[in-house]
Every structure is written in C-alpha cells, then in structure tokens.
C-alpha cells in the first residue's frame, strides 16, 4: 500500500485509527489543506448550501416518516396529526416542505453558476454530468414527496405526471399500469411512492459523494475560469472557505427560516389542503414552482408531428412533449460536448455572456408560461421560449466559438486578484 507520506497525528486515538483506516488523513487532505482557488465569489457557496439542505431534508424526513401513514385512508389525516399533535411536528413538516424549495433554489443557482463560468468544461465534464444526475434524482424525489400528503394537488399531480409515460408508443399503457400497481393512482401507488421517496435521497447522497470525489480530483473551477498554476493562486480550504461557506449558509438559512416561520404555505398550493378526491379535478393544476419551466416545455408541443404532405403521424403531440421535457435535461447532460469554446468564464466571452442572460430570461419566461393556464398568448410564448431553449443549447452553444472574439485571459488567478486590488486602491 502506498501511503508512505502519511504524517502522524498527535492524538494517540486518532493516530491509532488513522494507521488502520486513514480517514483523518483523508479529511485533512480534502477539507483542511485542500488547495482551493482564492478568488471564489459568493456563488461558490451554493454547493455547500445544497449539501446542508440534503442533510436537513434527510433528517427531518426520517422523523416525519416515523409519524406518517402511507395509506390512502390515513395519509392526509396523519399529516394533519403531525401538524397538530406531534411535538414540533409542524416545525418538521414546514422545514421539510419549504426545504424542498430551498434545496432547488440552491441547486438551480449552483447550476446556473456552472453555466455562467463554464464549470462543465474539460476536465470537469463528468463532475457536471453527475450533477445533472443529482438534479434528475431530486426531481423524482420531490415529485413523489409531494404526493405523500394525499391532498388534491398530490393526487392530480401524480395522475398527470404518471400519465406522461402513457405517451410512449406501444408499451405506454402497460408502463403506466405498472407504475400505478392498479388502474388509477391509488393505495399501491402511494405505498411505492413512499418507499421510493425514502430510498432516493440516499441514492442522491451516494451520487453527491461521487460528485465531491470528482470535484476533488480535478479541483474547483473559479470565476476567472483560469486553472490555478502556483501556490499563490490557492488558499487552504480551512479556514478560508469553511468560514466563508458557513457565513453564506447562515444568510441562506435566514431566507429559509423566513419562509418556514412566517410564510410556510406561500410556496404551496391551497388545493393541497383538500383531501384527495379521485372524482373531482381542481380547476387549475400547477406543479410546484421548481417544475414550472419543465411543465411549460411539456405543454409546448400542441401538434402532432407528421411526415410533410402526408397524414402519417410520426410523433403524437403528447409524446413530443414528453420527449422535449426529457430533452431539456438531456441538453444539460451533453452540454460539455456541445460547447467547443476553450474559454470557460463568461466574463471573457462577450457573446456567450449575452446568450447566458437571454437563456436565464428564457427560463423565467418558461416558468411563467408553466404557471398560466394553457390559453391564449401564453401557449405561443411557451412554445417560443421552448424553441429558444433548444436553439440555445443545440445551435448557439456549439457554434458560438466560431464567431466569438474572446477577451484576453489573465496570466494567473493571483495576477488578476492583485490587479483588482490595485484598481480598487487607486
């Protein structure tokens, strides 16, 4: 075994363990002395924040699971029992329910930060792709968790989303029946959603571990997108980024606590306080805010796609929407191979910078389109925004480097930091 350069610890117990299982050496290497670019801005806080959110969600979730009854006859009332009678049950549930939104906020900021600063580029392709996998798993987990309170939105959300799979040609109906374990969303569905909602966070945890391992192999990107070249470019992770991450986390927790304690139902929907009724669909079904852009893409395909000048339908509208929705995530997954520009940070890519902000606006627009009833102008706005989303990833990003004149990169992180300081001082 090649662990010759292990430095002994003073504490005899730690030393004894470390000789046999070098976890302390590992911790020291990865979280204490780990060389980290010294020019992070606050957007680099959100990885750590997302990690803490995952832990909070798992901790509150396990305790909620101890009180919750995954049975259609009891689920709704058991949630209300948590709210009324379980000690601090209301707190656990509001943390968990709002925590899902906060987790997505952190992860979306984390993702857009990666898009802006080119964190998905060589050598971080796999790191980025693991991140996209985490996002997909989070979506599945959040969706199934939203079904558990068994309110009207839970039930009809589950019905609508599982019905997506019926769009798959030939086997669609069978897949939906299999997902339901019956002929409608019912007790077997609720049971398996509960089981999977409990399981998936641990799968997420495992993928997060791989994500962190990959990060520590290639090192962090930074706002300049210039790799560290010397010791002057980096600082040890502790105490520089431990203090900074905890400060950033505290600010985030203030935002989180404001929702939990003073507007706990602001991000929810009133209809989910009505027990599920399989005979009455609410007038207007909307998913949770973090799914709205995807929901808009799903609804954008309102027409069958056929061979031109014939009536042979290639892709039904329903299936087209499903394909596009998964395509939207797929675009993120393959992004490292679409973007050919060698320059990472948008700070040095004047054209990409503009397109980044246009994409951001496009996603906001998709969010609004997903929230509105599919009527009138919003149908067309949703379709246009969907089209732009795919044009951005599959037309603009792969070709931009051919025409874009990038700005000169600084020699090193240290040089850029010093120049900025000198500029500030003058």
Out of 48, 54, 92, 167, the only residue in the binding site for other proteins (CB under 8 A) is 92
Indicate the residue among 91 and 133 with the shorter CB distance to other proteins: 91
Nearer to other proteins among residue 170 and residue 283 (C-beta): 283
Candidate residues 90, 205, 326, 394; the one interacting with other proteins per rule CB under 8 A: 90
Minimum distance between the CB of residue 2 and other proteins, rounded to whole angstroms?
27
User: Which region, judged by CB under 8 A, interacts with other proteins, from 103-111, 323-331, 382-390, 399-407?
Assistant: 103-111
| Cα 35 to Cα 238: distance, rounded to the nearest angstrom | 9
Break the chain down into helix, strand, coil percent, rounded to 5: 70, 5, 30
Which of the residues 229 through 258 are near other proteins (CB under 8 A)?
A: 235-236, 239-240, 243-244, 246-247, 250-251, 253-254, 257-258
Distance in Å, CB of 335 to other proteins, minimum: 19
CA angle 383, 389, 395 (to 5 degrees): 120
Among 84, 311, 405, 423, binds other proteins (CB under 8 A): 84
State which of positions 297-326 bind other proteins (CB under 8 A): none
Residue 285 CB, shortest distance to other proteins, in Å, is 9
Q: Is 275 helix (H, G, I), strand (E, B) or coil?
A: strand
Q: Identify the burial level of 331 via C-beta atoms within 10 angstroms of its C-beta, where 0-12 means exposed, 13-18 middle and 19 or more buried.
A: middle
Specify whether the CB–CB gap between 293 and 366 falls below 8 A: yes
User: Smallest distance from the beta carbon of 138 to other proteins, in angstroms?
Assistant: 17
Query: Is 348 in contact with 407 (CB distance < 8 Å)?
Result: yes
CA distance 116 to 357: 9
Shortest spacing between CB 93 and other proteins, in angstroms: 10
Q: Which of 174, 229, 284, 340 binds other proteins (CB under 8 A)?
A: 284
Of 49-68, binders to other proteins (CB under 8 A) are: 59-60, 63, 66-67
In order of 61, 63, 99, the CA distances from 260 in angstroms are 15, 17, 8
Instruction: Kindly state whether residue 373 participates in binding other proteins, applying the rule CB under 8 A.
Output: yes
Q: State the binding string over 350-369 for other proteins (x if CB under 8 A, else -).
A: -------x--x---x--x--
Closest approach of other proteins to the CB of residue 361, in Å: 9
Residues 6+ apart with CB under 8 A from 85: none
Number of residues binding to other proteins, judged by CB under 8 A: 69
Task: State the burial class of residue 421 (Cβ atoms within 10 Å of its Cβ: 0-12, 13-18, 19+).
Answer: exposed
CA distance 135 to 205: 12
CB of 159 to other proteins, least distance (A): 18
User: Which residues are paired to 236 by β-bridges?
Assistant: 35
For residues 369 and 366, give the distance between their C-alpha atoms in angstroms, rounded to a whole number.
Answer: 5
Q: Is residue 407 involved in binding other proteins (CB under 8 A)?
A: no
Residue from 30, 125, 271, 304 touching other proteins (CB under 8 A): that is 271
- Choose the binding region for other proteins from 179-187, 271-279, 329-337, 379-387 (rule: CB under 8 A): 271-279
Q: Which residues form the catalytic set?
A: 216, 220, 244-245, 288
Taking residue 218's Cβ as centre, other Cβ atoms within 10 Å add up to: 14
| Closest among 103, 91, 100, 98 to 67, alpha carbons compared | 91
Asked if residue 281 binds other proteins (CB under 8 A), the reply is: no
To which H or E segment does residue 212 belong? helix 187-218
End-to-end CA distance of the chain: 55
CB of 32 to other proteins, least distance (A): 10
Exposed, middle or buried: residue 97 (CB in 10 Å: 0-12, 13-18, 19+)?
buried
Classify 183 as helix, strand or coil. coil
CB nearer to other proteins: pick between 43 and 317 = 43
- Contact residues: other proteins, CB under 8 A: 38, 41-43, 59-60, 63, 66-67, 77, 80-81, 83-92, 94, 101, 105, 108-109, 112, 116, 235-236, 239-240, 243-244, 246-247, 250-251, 253-254, 257-258, 260-262, 264-267, 269-271, 273-274, 283-284, 286, 289, 292, 357, 360, 364, 367, 371-373, 417, 421
């Amino acid at each position: 075994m090649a662990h010759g350069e292990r430095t002994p610890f003073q504490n005899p117990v730690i030393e004894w363990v470390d000789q046999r299982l070098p976890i302390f050496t590992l911790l020291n290497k990865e979280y204490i002395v780990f060389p980290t670019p010294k020019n992070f801005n606050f957007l680099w806080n959100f990885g750590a924040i997302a990690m803490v959110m995952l832990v909070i969600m798992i901790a509150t979730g396990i305790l909620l699971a101890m009180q919750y009854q995954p049975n259609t006859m009891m689920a709704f009332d058991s949630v209300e029992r948590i709210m009324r009678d379980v000690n601090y049950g209301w707190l656990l549930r509001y943390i968990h329910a709002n925590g899902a939104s906060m987790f997505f906020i952190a992860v979306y900021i984390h993702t857009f930060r990666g898009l802006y600063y080119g964190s998905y580029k060589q050598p971080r392709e796999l790191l980025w792709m693991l991140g996209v996998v985490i996002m997909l798993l989070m979506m599945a987990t959040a969706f199934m968790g939203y079904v558990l309170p068994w309110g009207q939105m839970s039930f009809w959300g589950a019905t609508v989303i599982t019905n997506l799979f019926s769009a798959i040609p030939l086997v669609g109906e069978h897949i939906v029946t299999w997902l339901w374990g019956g002929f409608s969303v019912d007790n077997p569905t609720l049971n398996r959603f509960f089981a999977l909602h409990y399981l998936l966070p641990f799968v997420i945890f495992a993928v997060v571990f791989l994500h962190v391992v990959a990060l520590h192999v290639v090192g962090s990107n930074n706002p300049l997108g210039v790799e560290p070249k010397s010791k002057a470019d980096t600082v040890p992770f502790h105490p520089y980024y431990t203090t900074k991450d905890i400060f950033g986390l505290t600010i985030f927790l203030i935002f989180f606590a404001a929702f939990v304690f003073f507007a706990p139902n602001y991000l929810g929907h009133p209809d989910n306080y009505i027990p599920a009724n399989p005979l009455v669909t609410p007038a207007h079904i909307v998913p949770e805010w973090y799914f709205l852009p995807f929901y808009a893409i799903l609804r954008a395909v309102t027409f069958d796609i056929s061979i031109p000048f014939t009536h042979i339908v290639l892709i039904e509208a329903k299936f087209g929407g499903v394909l596009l929705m998964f395509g939207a995530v797929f675009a993120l997954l393959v992004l490292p191979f679409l973007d050919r520009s060698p320059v990472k940070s948008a700070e040095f890519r004047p054209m990409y910078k503009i397109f980044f902000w246009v994409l951001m606006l496009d996603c906001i627009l998709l969010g609004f389109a997903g929230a509105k009833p599919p009527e009138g102008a919003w149908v067309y706005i949703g379709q246009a925004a969907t089209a732009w989303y795919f044009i951005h990833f599959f037309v603009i990003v792969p070709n931009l480097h051919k025409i874009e004149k990038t700005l000169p990169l600084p020699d090193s992180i240290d040089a850029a930091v010093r120049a900025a300081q000198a500029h500030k001082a003058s």
